[in-house]
Amino acid sequence: MPIPINHAKPVRTTAKLHAFNQLQQWIIDGTLQPLEKLNDIELAQALGVSRTPIRESLQLLESQGFVSMQPGRATQVTEVKTDDINNLLPPLAALQALAAELAVPNIDEDTLRLLEEKNKQFADALYSKEFTIALKVDEEFHQIIVDTANNPYILSMIEMLQAHVRRLFYYEKIILREYSIEQHAEIIRLLREKNSTEVTETMRANWIYTIEEF
């Protein structure tokens, strides 16, 4: 089981959280491949933690659908199912749309300027064909709105769904289109105008069109 040795070790975090975040990232970006068997001793050595936080992290990853743990058998990374895009994006689109609606009363000019800057970074990445960077910046754009909605339950559900979407996008090499730049600009305009109804529909459309493109 090849494991990178040059990964960053974050500070001020618990061993369990550190292990969970790193293992999830390796599963998402393909460092740990679908159906790859996971050895808790090797993972503990690679991450510089004991086996307990590794086991706890694997249990959490199993509850989220990233690994499969069978008593007496190997723990494996789950498969990536292409059809899952039809199961993942509609609920994520609905939650993102709700987040946009809830963000409206909390939005301010500083946040709007930050969104405009993120959309410019997103556009630059797409025009430069830096598609992995574009995916990351697109997430950051939407995260600003989710954070502004200030609802911890929506935040938690979006984080889990977003991780699966990110993994699918990496695996299938899904490329976001330049049309998203226009949609982002429209979302910013509607947030500035405090138009809850239209920003909700525009946000939902921004996510759903990916299924049609795919």
Rounded CA-CA distance 197/174 in Å is: 29
What percent of the chain is predicted at pLDDT more than 90?
A: 75
Sequence length of the chain is: 214
CA 171 to chain centre: 13
d(CA 146, CA 98): 9
pLDDT score at 5: 56
Q: Is residue 96 within 8 Å of 158, Cβ to Cβ?
A: yes
Spell out the residues 6+ positions from residue 143 whose beta carbon is closer than 8 angstroms to its own: none
- Indicate the helix (H) or strand (E) that contains 26: helix 15-29
Instruction: Give the residue-averaged pLDDT of 133-146.
Output: 95
Q: Are 104 and 145 in contact (CB under 8 A)?
A: no
Tokens, residue 138:
């697109």
149 vs 3: which has the higher pLDDT = 149
Q: Which residues contact 66 (CB under 8 A, 6 or more apart)?
A: 23, 24, 27, 77, 78, 163, 167
> What is the C-alpha to C-alpha distance for residues 104 and 208, in angstroms, rounded to an integer?
21
What residue has token string 């963000």?
103
Checking if the pLDDT of 209 tops 50, the result is: yes
Residue 11 has a pLDDT of: 42
Going by pLDDT thresholds of 50, 70 and 90, the confidence category of residue 10 is very low
Domains in the chain, start-ordered, CATH in brackets?
15-77 (1.10.10.10), 82-213 (1.20.120.530)
When mean pLDDT is compared across 76-90, 105-119, 144-158, 193-207, the lowest value belongs to 76-90
State the pLDDT at residue 115.
98
Q: 67: which strand partners?
A: 77
Torsion of CA 40, 41, 42, 48, to 10 degrees: 100
Kindly tell me if the per-residue pLDDT of 1 is higher than 70: no
pLDDT in tens, 144-182: 999 999 999 999 999 999 999 999 888 887 778 888 999
